[in-house]
Amino acid sequence: MIPVDGNFILAVAPQFSGDKKAAQEQIIGAISAIFSATLDGYAINTRLRIAHFMGQVTHECAGFRTTEEFASGAAYEGRQDLGNTQAGDGKRYKGRGLIQLTGRANYRDIGQILGLPLEDNPAMAAEPVTALKIACEYWKKRNINSAADRDDLISATRLVNGGLNGLEDRRGYLIKAKSELARIEGLVISADEGGNTMILHRGSFGAGVAELQELLINKGFSLSIDSSFGAATELAVMTFQKANSLEANGIVERNTWTRLRA
């Protein structure tokens, strides 16, 4: 399980001041301790999956400063497709959650899944821990992990948004999340004249991957230096490992680094 917490969220989210900062700190503080375990429970547990989740959710909840949409919800009044069949349902079941849950029927369905009385007490959906779980349930229901595994921002955005609204904003958060995950996972197992030796594998990002790709190119492999450990880099690593009598598992650890730098 990758140790992502409130510090990770703050590293990705925009910085605010005043009331906006206080609201952000309240939300992040409430979910920090359970963030990693909650994501892991929904199989949002690889670098790409976590990065794409952060890219989408950070945009959807306005930088983790709200768990409730800013509009009143009146626009949803009478929406049969949302199950809003009673007077006042539009405002009562307005968007809440880190990815917004909207409409009586959806509150009922997610409430049953989570074992919470969201239809009777819709405000509960705005509580930070519940808001996180709502986002994870939405992610699971739409199988957005599949798009994340392909590093497909366009498909992930369409699955979350229905269109491409805020695409560049989401892209920026995705890039920041990848960079921060690279820092978190950059476990230095030695530091010498050969450089820092980090354990790398499929889904890794950052300067260590760029160095790896450059070394592989020098060994005759055809790769791009894009700092992202994808399928092509993994195949090159496995081929190199096999040719050098190493375990061909695609994981770049001390022995693989030593052979690459020879």
Q: Is residue 1 part of a domain?
A: no
Final residue of a structural domain among 163, 184, 205: 184
Q: Is residue 94 part of a domain?
A: yes
What's the pLDDT tens digit per position in 61-104? 999 999 999 999 999 999 999 999 999 999 999 999 999 999 99
For residues 12 and 54, membership in a common domain is answered with yes
Mean pLDDT confidence for 108-116: 97
For residues 23 and 143, membership in a common domain is answered with yes
The range of the structural domain enclosing residue 233 comes to 188-261
For residues 223 and 100, membership in a common domain is answered with no
For residues 133 and 40, membership in a common domain is answered with yes
User: Whole-structure pTM over 0.75, yes or no?
Assistant: no
Confidence of residue 189 (pLDDT cuts 50, 70, 90): very low
Confidence of residue 194 (pLDDT cuts 50, 70, 90): very low
For residues 91 and 153, membership in a common domain is answered with yes
What's the pLDDT tens digit per position in 152-181? 999 999 999 999 999 999 999 999 998 888
For residues 146 and 193, membership in a common domain is answered with no
Q: Is residue 199 part of a domain?
A: yes
Query: Following DSSP, what letter does each residue of the chain receive, concatenated?
Result: -----HHHHHHHSPP--HHHHHHHHHHHHHHHHHHHHHHHHTT--SHHHHHHHHHHHHHHTTTTT-SB-SS-SGGGTT-GGGT--STTHHHHT--BTTTTB-SHHHHHHHHHHHT--TTT-GGGGGSHHHHHHHHHHHHHHTTHHHHHHTT-HHHHHHHHHSS-TTHHHHHHHHHHHHHHHHHHH--EEEEETTEEEE-B-TT-BSHHHHHHHHHHHHTT------SB--HHHHHHHHHHHHHTTS--SS-B-HHHHHHHH-
- CATH no. for residue 202? 1.10.101.10
Final residue of a structural domain among 131, 151, 184: 184
For residues 54 and 166, membership in a common domain is answered with yes
Distance CA 36, CA 43 (A): 11
- CATH no. for residue 73? 1.10.530.10
For residues 96 and 145, membership in a common domain is answered with yes
Q: Is residue 195 part of a domain?
A: yes
For residues 233 and 157, membership in a common domain is answered with no
For residues 149 and 253, membership in a common domain is answered with no
For residues 156 and 210, membership in a common domain is answered with no
Final residue of a structural domain among 138, 154, 184: 184
For residues 170 and 40, membership in a common domain is answered with yes
Which residue type occupies 74? Answer: A
For the chain, the domain total comes to: 2
